[in-house]
Amino acid sequence: MGSLLASRAAVWDAFTTTLFLAVTAGVLALLVGTLLAAMRVSPYAPLRTVATVYTEFLRNTPLTIVFFFFVFVTPSMGFTFAYKVAAVIALTCYTSAFVAEAVRSGINSVAVGQAEAARSLGMSFGQNLAIVVLPQAFRTAIPPLISVLIALVKNTSVAGAFSVLELFALSKRLTNAHSSDVIAILVGIALCYLVICIPLGRLAAALERKAAFAR
Amino acid sequence: MRAAGRAYGRAMTQTTSASRSESGTAPPLVTMREVQKHFGDLHVLRDIDLEVDAGEVVVVLGPSGSGKSTLCRTINRLETIDSGDITIDGSPLPASGPGLARLRAEVGMVFQSFNLFAHKSVLDNVTVAPIKVKRMPRREAEELGMRLLERVGVADQAQKLPAQLSGGQQQRVAIARSLAMQPKLMLFDEPTSALDPEMINEVIEVMTDLAREGMTMIAVTHEMGFARRTADRVVFMDAGRILEVAPPDRFFTAPESERAKDFLSKILHH
Ligand SMILES: Nc1ncnc2c1ncn2[C@@H]1O[C@H](COP(=O)(O)OP(=O)(O)O)[C@@H](O)[C@H]1O
Ligand SMILES: [Mg+2]
């Protein structure tokens, strides 16, 4: 415990880095994933195909490979990103596929009559989605989406292997430097992750309760 | 709009049958010509020819699975057709895009299962399409919405969610929601079939008022009383075909086809 307290400035930096990765990639993945889900139900076949291929591909690729791609492969194609930026891009690409699936299952849970009523009133596809279908889809999608976001928080640790000094990378450094204090360090770092994940779980519960009232 | 519509509409309904046969100058509001529709191998609409004049009330009858819902749904293109033409007020139904959306906005549709937007208040259900599709200012839309809710007798429920209303109330809200777009035509697909018996009349009354005010209507319904009293014509369908078109008194007293006789004996003696 002593070594953790001694390096609390470094822990705080690593914690904010983890939080930055999770929040930035989380927000971006929610946006991109929702767009992908919308593409998958759109009336235009090419959009559906692109979204399906993207989602299936990224869902079934190990996250480390996605990181590898943005850290080592894209520079050879002329796109070099700072490590943190590469990490955000990799996490966003990977997580957006899971968001897309969660939102799509939410969309499928909305009764078809809802979209038909919207169409019969003259709404466009975009209005139908934005006004009628997605608000209802998100209600069912909240529990799986929160799971996706919690997984994202933990997945930020992969960035540690790609030169981003976040919590996991810091824990390796600290345990190497203070081998007698390994357990305390690991427990302390794990607590830092909990500090991010537990409020997410709470948020899920609150949102679900709210959605249940509104139904 | 309402008063004018009513006067105009009354005149229309009262003279419908006469003007249909005599003058025939005004073009029909809905024209279906040689419409064919398949679901896979199933031929659900066969050689459908139908014209509906402005102000006319057409009731569609027929056994379950005969294609009544599909007929309604092709008219606002919730279902595509394989061949033939459908025109609304002279314009052919566009395949997709803003033209189709505009046309749909002119055709109201009331579903068996109400399909009110579950996450929106009753008033929002009625105002959302005028605001988003017609770009009507919110205040104006809300005034219109409250007037329509009053007209169908559910103004006191305006702030509730649909699930808090009875089936009959929900269906009346659904009618108000369609009317808010000021449609030229209303389609009803078994609007009372999902309702408990004691709620059927409140919906039928709203439909009857609407017909009296001159709204053009195509209604699939098993409410024979409504068909007898309110319809200008009855269309009888069986196995995807229109077998008979007749004024209700003639259809109910002297149906021509065996299928219609059979259908009526089942409906009237159950
Ligand atoms: N989306 C669909 N896919 C396949 N078959 C359908 C579909 N909708 C309706 N049908 C079939 O088409 C026929 C006519 O259906 P419908 O128009 O709903 O009849 P009705 O409203 O007169 O009961 C029925 O046999 C029905 O099973
Ligand atoms: Mg039907």
Percent of chain B residues past pLDDT 70, beyond the cut:
90
Query: Please, are residues B112 and A124 in contact by the beta-carbon 8 Å criterion?
Result: no
User: Which one-letter amino acid corresponds to residue A100?
Assistant: A
H or E stretch at A58: helix A45-59
Q: In which residue are the tokens 């309402």 written?
A: B2
Over residues B43-53, the mean pLDDT reads 96
User: Which one-letter amino acid corresponds to residue A35?
Assistant: L
CB atoms within 10 A of CB B174: 26
Q: B99-148, pLDDT tens digit by residue?
A: 888 888 899 999 999 999 999 999 999 999 999 999 999 999 999 999 99
Q: Which residues line ligand 1 (CB under 6 A)?
A: B 39, 42, 44, 62, 64-70
B238 - beta bridge partners? Answer: B241
The per-residue pLDDT for A186 is 92
Q: Find the residue in A nearest to B133 (Cα).
A: A123
Q: Is B39 exposed, middle or buried (0-12, 13-18, 19+ CB in 10 A)?
A: exposed
Q: Tens digit of pLDDT per residue, chain A (215 long)?
A: 577 888 889 999 999 999 999 999 999 999 999 999 999 999 899 999 999 999 999 999 999 999 999 999 999 998 888 999 999 999 999 999 999 999 999 999 999 999 999 999 999 999 999 999 999 999 899 999 999 999 999 999 999 999 888 999 999 999 999 888 899 999 999 999 999 999 988 988 888 887 765 55
The per-residue pLDDT for B87 is 93
Q: Is B160 exposed, middle or buried (0-12, 13-18, 19+ CB in 10 A)?
A: middle
Over residues B201-222, the mean pLDDT reads 95
CB contact under 8 A, A120 and B108: yes
Q: Find the residue in B nearest to A43 (Cα).
A: B96
How far does A43 lie from chain B, in Å, by closest CA? 10
Write out chain B in H/E/C secondary structure: CHHHHHHHHHHHHHHHHHHHHCCCCCCCCEEEEEEEEEECCEEEEEEEEEEECCCCEEEEECCCCCCHHHHHHHHCCCCCCCEEEEEECCEECCCCHHHHHHHHHCEEEECCCCCCCCCCCHHHHHHHHHHHCCCCCHHHHHHHHHHHHHHCCCHHHCCCCHHHCCHHHHHHHHHHHHHCCCCCEEEEECCCCCCCHHHHHHHHHHHHHHHHCCCEEEEECCCHHHHHHHCCEEEEEECCEEEEEECHHHHHHCCCCHHHHHHHHHHHCC
State which of B61, B70, B82 you would mutate to test the pocket of ligand 1, scoring each by most atoms of that ligand within 8 A of its C-beta. B70
Going from N- to C-terminal start, the domains of chain A cover 2-214
The pLDDT of residue B199 is above 80: yes
Query: Please, are residues A147 and B142 in contact by the beta-carbon 8 Å criterion?
Result: no
Residues on chain A bordering chain B, Cβ-to-Cβ distance under 8 angstroms: 43, 111, 113-114, 116-124, 127, 131-132, 135-136, 139, 214-215
**In angstroms, rounded to a whole number, what is the distance separating the alpha carbons of residues B111 and A185?**
62
Structure tokens belonging to residue A56: 């299936």
Closest by alpha carbon to B165, among B207, B120, B201, B210? Answer: B120
Q: B248-267, pLDDT tens digit by residue?
A: 999 999 999 999 999 999 88
The per-residue pLDDT for B24 is 52
Q: Which ligand is nearest the CA of A112, by number?
A: 1
Question: Residue B15: pLDDT band by 50, 70, 90 thresholds?
Answer: very low
The per-residue pLDDT for B103 is 87
The per-residue pLDDT for B270 is 58
The per-residue pLDDT for A213 is 58
Contact partners, residue B214, CB within 8 Å, separation at least 6: B5, B6, B8, B9, B10, B11, B12, B13, B55
Over residues B202-207, the mean pLDDT reads 95
**In angstroms, rounded to a whole number, what is the distance separating the alpha carbons of residues B173 and B183?**
15
Residues on chain B bordering chain A, Cβ-to-Cβ distance under 8 angstroms: 76, 78, 96, 98, 101-109, 111, 113-119, 128-129, 132-133, 161, 163, 174, 177-178, 181
The pLDDT of residue B3 is above 50: no
The per-residue pLDDT for B174 is 97
How far does B47 lie from chain A, in Å, by closest CA? 25
The per-residue pLDDT for A210 is 78
Query: Please, are residues A80 and B80 in contact by the beta-carbon 8 Å criterion?
Result: no
The pLDDT of residue B80 is above 70: yes
- All structural domains of chain B, each given as residue ranges with its CATH number in brackets, are 27-96+185-270 (3.40.50.300), 117-182 (no CATH)
The ipTM estimated for the assembled molecules is 0.86
**In angstroms, rounded to a whole number, what is the distance separating the alpha carbons of residues B244 and B266?**
17
CB atoms within 10 A of CB B46: 16
Q: B214-249, pLDDT tens digit by residue?
A: 999 999 999 999 999 999 999 999 999 999 999 999
Superfamily (CATH) of domain A2-214:
MetI-like (1.10.3720.10)
**In angstroms, rounded to a whole number, what is the distance separating the alpha carbons of residues B237 and B67?**
7
Q: What does pTM read for this prediction?
A: 0.87
